[in-house]
C-alpha cells in the first residue's frame, strides 16, 4: 500500500542518515530546491496554478531525516486533494509542485520560511527545513473556473450535485488512465463538499465553487 514506506520510511527508521545529501537552510537561500526523482515519458499535462492536484507527499525533517508525515499511511492512505498555488498547502509545496506531470516524483527541500516558519507545527520544530517526497497522481484542469463549472453542471441548474461532481471526477481519472472504484470517489466527493458546500444544502452553488475567482484562475 505504501511504496515509499518500504523503501523510504523503513530506510529512515533503520537509522540511516540522509543528512549529507540534504541541503542546509543557508544553502537554500529562501527558495525551494527541486530534484526530479522520476519523470514519465509521456506528459499529458503539466501542473499550473489553479489546477486540481491529487498527490501523495511524505514529509521529513532535513536535520535528521526523521519523518513527520506520510500521506500513504495517514488518513487511510488517501492521496491528498488540493488546488495548486492558492495556499491550501504550505507555500513550498505550492511552489515546488508547479510544472509536474501526472506520475512524476520530486524531492523538494523547503526552507522554514516557505514551510512551518518560526513557530513550527506539531512534530516540526521552529525554523525547520523540511523535505517532501511528492508523487503527483493526477493533474486536472482547475475546478475553479467557470468553464469547468459549466462542464460539470450537467443539468445546467447553476449548481453542482454530488452526482455531477462524481461524473466529472470519473471522466478525469479515466482520461488519466487511472480509473478508481466507487469508495475512492465517494471519499473525494465528501471532502470536496465538506470544503466547498458552505451552506450545507448538498449542492455547490456557483458562488461557493468560485471562491478563488479573485485569484485570476
Binding residues vs Ca ion (CB under 5 A): 153, 155, 157, 197, 199, 201
Minimum CB separation of residue 160 from Ca ion in Å reads: 6
HEC-encoded secondary structure of the chain? CCHHHHHHHHHHHCCCCCHHHCCCHHHHCCCCEEEEEECCCCCCCCCCCCCEEEEEEEEEECCCCCEEEECCCHHHHCCEEEECCCCCCCHHHHHHCCCCCCCCEEEEEECHHHCCCCCCECCECCCCCEEEEEEEEEEECCCCCHHHHHHHCCCCCCEECHHHHHHHHHHHHHHCCCCCCHHHHHHHHHHHHHHHCCCCCCCEEHHHHCCCHHHCC
Minimum CB separation of residue 82 from Ca ion in Å reads: 20
Minimum CB separation of residue 197 from Ca ion in Å reads: 4
Minimum CB separation of residue 166 from Ca ion in Å reads: 12
Minimum CB separation of residue 188 from Ca ion in Å reads: 17
Nearer to Ca ion, 48 or 151 (CB): 151
Nearer to Ca ion, 157 or 174 (CB): 157
Nearer to Ca ion, 46 or 195 (CB): 195
Given a contact cutoff of 8 angstroms between Cβ atoms, the answer to whether 204 and 165 are in contact is yes
Q: Exposed (0-12), middle (13-18) or buried (19+): which is 131, by Cβ within 10 Å?
A: buried
Nearer to Ca ion, 63 or 170 (CB): 170
Nearer to Ca ion, 186 or 201 (CB): 201
Nearest to 38 by CA among 56, 22, 25: 56
Minimum CB separation of residue 170 from Ca ion in Å reads: 16
Nearer to Ca ion, 178 or 207 (CB): 207
What grid cell was written down for 13? 527508521
Amino acid at each position: 500500500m505504501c511504496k515509499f514506506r518500504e523503501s523510504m520510511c523503513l530506510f529512515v527508521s533503520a537509522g540511516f542518515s540522509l543528512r549529507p545529501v540534504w541541503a542546509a537552510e543557508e544553502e537554500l537561500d529562501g527558495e525551494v530546491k527541486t530534484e526530479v526523482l522520476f519523470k514519465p515519458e509521456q506528459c499529458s499535462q503539466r501542473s499550473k496554478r489553479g489546477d486540481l492536484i491529487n498527490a501523495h507527499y511524505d514529509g521529513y525533517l532535513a536535520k535528521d531525516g526523521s519523518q513527520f508525515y506520510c500521506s500513504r499511511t495517514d488518513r487511510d492512505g488517501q492521496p491528498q486533494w488540493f488546488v495548486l498555488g492558492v495556499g491550501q498547502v504550505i507555500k513550498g509545496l505550492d511552489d515546488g509542485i508547479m510544472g509536474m506531470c501526472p506520475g512524476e516524483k520530486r524531492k523538494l527541500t523547503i526552507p522554514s520560511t516557505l514551510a512551518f516558519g518560526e513557530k513550527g507545527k506539531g512534530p516540526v520544530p521552529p525554523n525547520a527545513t523540511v523535505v517532501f517526497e511528492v508523487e503527483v497522481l493526477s493533474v486536472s484542469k482547475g475546478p475553479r473556473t467557470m468553464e469547468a463549472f459549466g462542464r460539470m453542471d450537467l443539468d445546467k441548474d447553476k449548481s453542482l450535485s454530488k452526482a455531477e461532481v462524481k461524473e466529472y471526477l470519473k471522466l478525469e481519472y479515466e482520461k488519466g488512465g487511472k480509473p478508481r472504484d466507487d469508495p475512492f470517489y465517494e471519499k473525494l466527493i465528501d471532502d470536496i463538499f465538506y470544503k466547498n458546500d458552505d451552506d450545507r444544502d448538498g449542492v455547490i452553488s456557483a458562488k461557493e465553487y468560485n471562491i478563488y475567482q479573485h485569484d485570476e484562475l
